[in-house]
Structure 1
Amino acid sequence: MKKPDCDAKLKQLNTRPLGSWKEASPVSDITIRNQTELKHYEAVLNGEVVAFAEYRPLEGAVMFAHTEVNESIEGKGIGSALIRQALDETRAAGKWVIPMCPFVVGFIQRHPEYVEAVNPQHRRIFGI
């Protein structure tokens, strides 16, 4: 069951009009930022949040709990760009990644260069 704030974010994300998103080259035109007060990374395209990845900071690790991408632009690489930056920043901070979100698990499975970001004792749990 999703948390109420996540449901509200998802509803807002998926009901926004496309506007110029169709004309934009999403991956090259996005800005990804870590909203630490909201505990999520977000991808912004043309001034609108089009994707987010929620996380929970822990001692020595960051748990990635949930990722959403506006359904009208799924498959454009925005979710992957979002997770790539989040994982890169987590590794740069010297913290382990705990990929509770299936999208993050799938990303790591498709990009073996990120496997070492997951604690070796936890990799089997996530099928990594």
Structure 2
Amino acid sequence: MSTEVRRDDAAGRYEVVVDGAVAGYTEIKPRDGVLIMPHTLVDDAYAGQGLAKVLVTGALDDIRSRGERIKPLCPYVRSFLEKNPQYTDLVA
């Protein structure tokens, strides 16, 4: 299984791609110099494979590399940040 996380600014989201198919996404909405993260979704066909964690980890790593900050409104992203405090510096 080939998995990658990519940013699609035109769609306003990060996508997790499995074997060439988009399996899920987390939305990003730029506002006042911060990326609002309101929603994360993984398709039911890919449930239980840990893809939400792969997706959010990849998104936050990329956001850090770009020097951007986030406002996590998505319950999954908030929960992820509680469990992974090494990313809390990204919260605006």
Q: So what's the TM-score if we normalise by structure 1?
A: 0.66
| Equivalent position of 1:69 in the other structure | 42
- Give the Å deviation of 1:94: 1.9
Q: Matched residue pairs, number? A: 92
- Alignment partners' CA distance in 1, 2:68 and 2:33: 5
Q: Given residue 77 of structure 2, which amino acid in structure 1 is its aligned partner?
A: V
- Alignment partners' CA distance in 1, 2:43 and 2:9: 21
Which has more helix, going by share of residues? 1
Unaligned runs of 5+ in 2: none
Structure ID, larger Rg: 1
- The answer as to 2:30 corresponding to 1:57 is yes
| Equivalent position of 1:103 in the other structure | 76
Unaligned runs of 5+ in 1: 1-23, 120-128
Q: So what's the TM-score if we normalise by structure 2?
A: 0.89
Higher relative contact order (CA 8 A, sep 6+): 2
- Alignment partners' CA distance in 2, 1:96 and 1:45: 27
- Alignment partners' CA distance in 2, 1:75 and 1:82: 13
Moved more, 85-94 or 99-108: 85-94
Deviating 4+ runs (over 6 angstroms)? none
